Amino acid sequence: MGGYTGELTLVGEEPALPYQRPPLSKAYMKGEFAEERLYFKPAAWYEDNNVELILSTRATSIDRAERRVDLEHGGHLEYDALIIATGSRPRALPIDGAELEHVYALRGLADVERIRPQMVAGRSMVIIGAGYIGLEAAAVAQQMGLKTTVLEMAPRVLARVTSPVMSEFYEAEHRRQGVEIRTETSLSKLEGNDGAVTAAVLTDGTKLDADIVLVGIGILPNEALAKDSGIACNNGILVDRDARTSDPRIFAAGDCASRPLVHFGRSGRLESVHNAIEQGKLAAAAILGKPRPNEDCPWFWSDQYDLKLQIAGLSAGYDEIVVRGSPEDRKFAAFYLKNGTLIAVDAINSPPEFLASKKLIMSGAKLSADILADTSITMKEIATNAVAA
């Protein structure tokens, strides 16, 4: 704790204690561990540290002049400083049948509790959207013995977030595992019987059996609370390097915030654990008047089957890809360079490539494609030489 001794209240719309979301589409979805293991802290921690928890309660509006937050069940809280960490919500499927039973999104614990009982071996699951959530869920469903189909509008999986090299690798992997992947495919509607989904109908008329439909077509930032009170927003609540919004007493952190990406010369939202933790620290430090913590290289991970993907940096705008290792070995990395400088890496089962890249990206060192691709030189050597150069 940063030494703060005043009152601290945490308001959350969900009933559960604050928890980790990444396992929801991975090990937790598979039922590998109990809900308690998702919690950041046990209930007693909040009591011991004088943090008042108000759960199952939405904050409905902010009165900035009165420095007051109104709560949905009546009552309000006054603040000296306010952090908005409202996260994001799944983009809704804009087609007929989206309201049928057994059509789900995957965002919170409650979603998993609804989906899991339906995930019975032999049933058909259609996943809309081949982003990380969709593909992670597909890996889980396939391993649980469901007949799994993934539909994607773009010509390749993960099109929005990574390069064709990675898309091709993951597409082949999922097919090898038995998942049916259909790219350049659009959904026309969902059909049901007795209110529950039974089929997904494509725009070309093809009808796919669907006992369960999972929609994973991206998320939208929950910015209404800020926007309605006149705080500047633009695809996210706009914040500065201290996570401060256009109101100096109000901060925003996590998926809902659009922040300066200092190493990449632009602003944007990052949907990741690293970003949520870092912005929380930035906001807390600013509120307590402490020095600004380091802004680290953005990083992400994804678990599918026995593949651990670790991502460092942001690859948008790359002009060169270098592959180190071989996809056939299920252990390789794709480096993304811009003007000879490393800006991102996708590392599959390759922690050294990931960890060295985190440092190399921050250093801005020039790197040659030949050296990065040369597996006879270790990543440690590459990192040491590059930083020294």
- List interacting residues with another protein (CB under 8 A): 20, 22-23, 26, 37, 40-42, 45, 48-49, 273-274, 277, 294, 296, 299, 301, 303, 308, 310, 349-352, 355-356, 380
* Identity of the residue, 277 or 387, whose beta carbon is nearer to another protein in the bound complex: 277
The encoded tokens of residue 8 equal 């601290």
Please report how close the Cβ of residue 263 comes to another protein at its closest, in angstroms. Answer: 16
* Identity of the residue, 60 or 349, whose beta carbon is nearer to another protein in the bound complex: 349
* Identity of the residue, 164 or 352, whose beta carbon is nearer to another protein in the bound complex: 352
Please report how close the Cβ of residue 143 comes to another protein at its closest, in angstroms. Answer: 17
Task: Compute the distance between CA of residue 231 and CA of residue 238 in angstroms, rounded to an integer.
Answer: 8
**H helices within the chain, ranges in order?**
43-48, 109-115, 132-143, 164-176, 224-228, 273-288, 351-363, 369-373, 379-388
Q: Yes or no: say if 101 and 195 are a contact pair by the CB < 8 Å rule.
A: yes
DSSP result, 173-221: HHHHTT-EEE-S--EEEEEEETTEEEEEEETTS-EEE-SEEEE-S-EEE
C-alpha triplet 40, 43, 46: angle, nearest 5°: 85
* Identity of the residue, 22 or 327, whose beta carbon is nearer to another protein in the bound complex: 22
By three-state DSSP, how is residue 344 classified?
A: strand
Please report how close the Cβ of residue 33 comes to another protein at its closest, in angstroms. Answer: 9
CA distances from 54 to 46, 59, 197 (A): 11, 10, 36
Please report how close the Cβ of residue 366 comes to another protein at its closest, in angstroms. Answer: 21
* Identity of the residue, 223 or 278, whose beta carbon is nearer to another protein in the bound complex: 278
Please report how close the Cβ of residue 349 comes to another protein at its closest, in angstroms. Answer: 7
Q: Yes or no: say if 354 and 360 are a contact pair by the CB < 8 Å rule.
A: no
Please report how close the Cβ of residue 158 comes to another protein at its closest, in angstroms. Answer: 18
* Identity of the residue, 44 or 121, whose beta carbon is nearer to another protein in the bound complex: 44
